[in-house]
Amino acid sequence: MSGAHINPAATLAFALNGQLKWKLVPVYMLAQYTGAFLAALVLFLNNYEAIMAVDGGQHSASGATNSTGLIFATYPAPYLTIWGGLLDQIIGTAVLLFSLCAVNDQSNHGLESKHQPLAIALVVGIVCVSFNANCGAIFNPARDLSPRIVTYIFSYPLVWEPLNGLYWIVVGVIGPHLGAIIGLFGYKFTIGWALGCHERQLHSLGAAGGDSGRFKERD
């Protein structure tokens, strides 16, 4: 129904590019963050006994051998700075959106609709594995912020504190939004622009060929 708009960062980028009506942006984002919250809530309740068996009710967000907070939200690697995390998410999300645009662009000999889900799943999986080390491959603000709220509700300590309290907003929210915009417009003004020029050239040649044919018929 929505074209699988499950990422607020992608939703904003598509709206800026004119591919999504602005009146739908808050509706989609509300649904995305609510869906992620409910999914994390169900995950916690369904695995409550397992979580209690691991941490004994002494919930830890990250850092300990029995930390269970990483099941829900991401946390930075010990060496990571705020700027390193921001750059990681900008680049990773940009690569993700750039790749998805290539898959979906029919003028780029894009895949048939029936093959796109598998290709998109492979793209997401590869990018997540490639950018997992620094901060868990966020790329989607809803998938980090909403579960973080769930862990806060269930008394996980220090969920907002990493990197002086800036990690969750700068790396988890701002980074993916900037990366999505860069990735989408990066594709549009490189490969998309080149393909557009090629199509216009073919159209001009086709029109010229048609005119030549009409001239010959008149002769």
Residue 170 lies in a domain: yes
Number of domains in the chain: 1
Per-residue pLDDT of the chain (219 residues; tens, 9 = 90+): 556 679 999 999 999 999 999 999 999 999 999 999 999 999 999 999 999 999 998 899 998 889 999 999 999 999 999 999 999 999 999 999 999 998 888 777 766 778 888 888 999 999 999 999 999 999 999 999 999 999 999 999 999 999 999 999 999 999 999 999 999 999 999 998 888 665 656 556 565 555 544 434 444
Residue 32 lies in a domain: yes
DSSP 8-state code for residue 6: -
Residue 50 lies in a domain: yes
Residue 219 lies in a domain: no
Tell me if 146 sits within 8 A of 50, measured CB to CB: no
Residue 214 lies in a domain: no
CA distances from 1 to 42, 175, 190 (A): 24, 27, 29
Residue 3 lies in a domain: no
pLDDT at 117: 85
Half-sphere exposure of 27 (CA within 13 A, CB side): 7
Residue 212 lies in a domain: no
Look up the domain containing 152 and give its range.
8-207
Provide the whole-model pTM: 0.86
pLDDT at 218: 41
Alpha carbon 43 to its chain's center: 21
Residue 91, domain CATH: 1.20.1080.10
Place of tokens 């001239």: 215
Alpha helices in 105-140 (DSSP H): 116-130
pLDDT at 113: 77
Query: For 26-52, how does the pLDDT look when each residue is reduced to its tens digit (9 = 90+)?
Result: 999 999 999 999 999 999 999 999 999
Residue 123 lies in a domain: yes
Neighbour count for residue 87 (Cβ, 10 Å) = 15
